[in-house]
Structure 1
Amino acid sequence: MAKITLGGSPAETLGTIPQVGTIAPNFTLVAKDLSSKSLSDYEGHRKILNIFPSVDTNVCAQSARKFNQEASDLENTKVLCISKDLPFAQARFCAAENIENAVLLSDFRDGSFGKDYGLTLTSSGFEGLHSRVVLVLDENNKVLYSEQVPEIGQEPNYDAALKTLC
């Protein structure tokens, strides 16, 4: 269990996120068109998993915009933005923000992604949502970079995450 903060107040997660050198667990999430997408759908591509509580918060929106912008310059790389937002909210966000290079996926159905990846918040005002995490995976889903932001209101270290792909 990770001990992080939300607005300076303690928050905890139910487990530990995947660490560098491990293989990321498979998942099934919901795309904007309500289809199911799994990690294996992106096999053969490098992946940035940009995981956050909700697209309706400033830092979450900023991280989606930043990785969307950077994704256009990265070869053979998919950016997967993952939250528990409904796919309709994710689609509205993508349209409003011109998000074209990132795929938004939802864990709203059963929360299994958050549980399997150990990042579901078990305390705080965001209980039940995802903590802010960035994972970078190679073409075989090996974790190259793993960051759980210690204060949910902080942005992730974009440069460190992107550097693992250069």
Structure 2
Amino acid sequence: MASITLGGNPANTVGNLPSVNSQAPAFKLTKSDMSTKTLSDYQGSKVVLNIFPSVDTGTCAQSVRQFNEEAAELNSVKVLCISKDLPFAQNRFCGAEGIENVEMLSDYKTGSFGQDYGLAFADSAFESLLSRCVVVLDEGGKVIYTEQVQETGDEPNYKAALEALMDA
């Protein structure tokens, strides 16, 4: 269990992020067109998992914008923006913002992604939502970088995540 904060108040997650050098847990998430995507669909590409509570908050929206901008410069890298938002809300956001370089995925059906990756809130006003994290995977699905933002309202360290991609 990780201890983080939400608006300065203590909050906990259901577990801990996968460790660096471990194999990323398999996942099954929903795309904005309601189709299913799995981790194996990204085999052969480096992957950035940009994980957050809801695209309808300022910091979450900014992380999608920032990774969208950065992803335009990256070759053979997939940036997956993951929340429990309904795919309709994710689609609406991307359309309004002109987001084209990231893939939005939702954990709304089962919540198993948040459980399996140990990053769902266990308590607080955000209980069961996904905490703000970045997990970077190599082409074989091995974890090469993780960050769980200590204060949920803060942005992740984009530079460190992108440097992990270049070092892999």
TM-score, length-scaled by structure 2: 0.98
Structure 2 residue aligned with 1:67:
67
Structure 2 residue aligned with 1:56:
56
Residue 165 of structure 1 and its aligned partner are, at CA, apart by 1.4
Identity %: 62
| Residues 88-107 of structure 1: per-residue CA shift (max 9 Å, x gap) | 00000100111100000000
CA distance in 1, matches of 2:24, 2:99: 25
Structure 2 residue aligned with 1:125:
125
CA distance in 1, matches of 2:20, 2:73: 24
Residue 124 of structure 1 and its aligned partner are, at CA, apart by 1.0
CA distance in 1, matches of 2:18, 2:152: 18
Structure 2 residue aligned with 1:163:
163
Structure 2 residue aligned with 1:105:
105
Structure 1 residue aligned with 2:17:
17
For the aligned residue pairs, the C-alpha RMSD in angstroms reads 0.5
CA distance in 1, matches of 2:63, 2:76: 20
CA distance in 2, matches of 1:112, 1:127: 14
Give the SS at the match of 1:64: helix
TM-score, length-scaled by structure 1: 0.99
Structure 2 residues not aligned, in runs of 5+: none
Structure 2 residue aligned with 1:138:
138
Give the SS at the match of 1:165: helix
Residue 128 of structure 1 and its aligned partner are, at CA, apart by 0.9
Give the SS at the match of 1:10: strand
Structure 1 residues not aligned, in runs of 5+: none
Runs of 4+ in 1 over 6 A off after TM superposition: none
CA distance in 2, matches of 1:57, 1:116: 24
AA of the residue aligned to 2:44:
G
Count of aligned residue pairs for this structure pair: 166
AA of the residue aligned to 1:42:
Y
AA of the residue aligned to 1:89:
A
CA distance in 1, matches of 2:20, 2:70: 22
Matches within 5 A, 1:30-45: 30-45=30-45
Give the SS at the match of 1:155: coil
CA distance in 2, matches of 1:16, 1:120: 10
